[in-house]
Amino acid sequence: MKLVDEEGREAHRWQLPVRPGRHAVLLANGNLGYNGSCQDGPVLYPIWPLWRGGDFMEVAPDGEIVRRHVDPAHHHDAQWLANGDILYTAAHPLPAEMVRRLGGEAGARVYGDVVRQVNRDGETVWEWKSWEHLRPEDFPTQPVFDLQHWPMINGLWDARDGLVLMSLRTTSGVIAVRRDTGAVAWVIGQDVLAQQHTPVQLDDGAVLVFDNGTMRPGVSSHFSRVIEVDPATNAIVWEYRDPDAPSFFSPYMGGAQRLSNGNTFITESSTGRLFEVTPAGEVVWEFIIPEFGPYPEPGMDRMIGGHHNSVFRAYRYAREDVSWL
């Protein structure tokens, strides 16, 4: 795991005992919040190793691991909260009745999502189970996905007003869940989003989303975009897409970060492309990850061949955020 400067030169590197499960983030105390891949966990279904995590480490700049939490059921996103808690998604078998309502065969094992928050001691302080609050009839799996994992929460955000934002990959949409009751407060649905990632609540309450567009209804040429949505109306209030739309496309993963200068930092994950755009859509900085290699998981070359420079998510930091450097 490393930091690079604006010229793409390596500024710092952490040597860690396991490969990344997804992404990492710098914490306010200068340490690294690292989401490592739990290598001892079970393979829940054939493609599970692509996105499993579960080996959480807080790592000092000198590489010392000062805290560790392990949950082999974790996948995709994890948010390191300001109070030291970790908010993440884990996979658990769905009840048989839910599998039936989703259209699965009797006896089929389908995994659902549990969103879990643990404190610094690894104790669960909040938990939300998808099958207790979501109706399959309201959140059907889209035809492009098989029925192995529903609704596959690939992004989280600890929002204001007691809400948690969740990105539902296999059903397309972002929901806001009330912490006190577990009920869904609002939905940005399939009419706006297509297999999205990374919901982020901005200061004015709008939601910034990386909209992958892998199977966008009514569109013959795939493209991705980053959109800012008003959740009160589901109106798109800002959008970035490439003028040649298919030139910006990540069928999987992806991220967007609103910077303090008003620009937006974008992770085009599948191509290893990181770039910054102005509100007018002008690209003012760009970096292509130069390292390529096979997917670092035994046996996955049968599913995802070739050499890749992909990255789940990246973040842009100001100089004062790395005063220890």
Q: What is the pLDDT of residues 86-137, one digit of tens each?
A: 999 999 999 999 999 999 998 999 999 999 999 999 999 999 999 999 999 9
Give the model's confidence band at 227: pLDDT under 50 very low, under 70 low, under 90 confident, else very high: very high
State pTM to two decimals: 0.96
**Contacts (Cβ under 8 Å, ≥6 apart) of 296:** 19
Amino acid code (one letter) for 286? E
Which among 151, 163, 73 has a CA at the least distance from the CA of 110? 151
% the chain with pLDDT above 70: 100
The share of the chain scoring above pLDDT 90, in percent, equals: 85
pLDDT for res 63: 95
Q: Give residue 305's pLDDT.
A: 81
Mean pLDDT of 62-68: 96
pLDDT per residue as tens digits for the range 169-215: 999 999 999 999 999 999 999 999 999 999 999 999 999 999 999 88
Calculate the CA dihedral of residues 117, 119, 124, 127 and round it to 10 degrees.
-20
Check residue 221 and give its pLDDT: 87
- Asked whether the predicted pLDDT for residue 288 surpasses 90, the reply is yes
Strand partners, 117: 87, 126
- Give 251-271 pLDDT, tens digit per residue: 999 999 999 999 999 999 999
Query: What pLDDT score was predicted for residue 262?
Result: 97
- Could you please state the CATH topology (level 3) that the domain comprising 84-322 is classified under: Neuraminidase (2.120.10)
According to the model, what pLDDT value does residue 29 have?
94
Torsion of CA 142, 145, 151, 154, to 10 degrees: -120
- The continuous run of DSSP H or E covering 133 comes out as helix 130-133
Token pair 């992404």: residue: 23
Asked if residue 219 has pLDDT above 90, the reply is no
In which band, very low, low, confident or very high, does the pLDDT at 22 lie, cut at 50, 70 and 90?
A: confident
